[in-house]
Structure 1
């Protein structure tokens, strides 16, 4: 096999197994505004301070109108396979509580990871 064919096959494998990461998103049901960030190393979100900072950064990006509303949704999505889980919050103040935010992020990631248990390979670094 020529080196060119080998490299071409290797590139295809890398492209197919590329880590697309996990996304963390906050959306509002009132006006459907959504703010999202992708984490290529989602295990970092298990650290409570990292999870709190991520949630706080997304909240900061919301419009003032959204921040005054009710019914918020925190979502974790595995961008590699599309598995997505969300959790409802009646008010923004719930999400602004560091303990609640960190626990919610960890809980959602664990649920998403549970769907991955049947997969042969995991490209998200777990």
Structure 2
């Protein structure tokens, strides 16, 4: 079974994700969304003041760390969220290989899309990021 995919159009070299990557998760009181999914939502809908795609494929830049933390806190119902707490959550994803910090670039991270797809959509036929569909 091949999943239906949705494109991310923020960059000339966009990437296609399965539907689960952009499912709406903005229902009031829902605290189930994970940070990586929230970041993809913001990137997908163009929350450019706080976060945006940049650099290499899969790389994103946090343009306004405090604004991003405030948005994440609102989403999770945690009004005292700050960037220190949010960055701790980002570091949790390093060991899971969901994303990593881009060396030498402040507030810049890179998604490991093949890991995200394999973990969240095991039937998706991807073994490495070079096999994820790209639009050019």
Q: Normalization by structure 1: what TM-score?
A: 0.32
Structure with greater contact order relative to length (CA < 8 Å, sep ≥ 6): 1
Going by fraction, where is helix more abundant, 1 or 2? 1
Tell me which structure has the larger Cα radius of gyration: 1
TM-score normalized with structure 2 length: 0.30
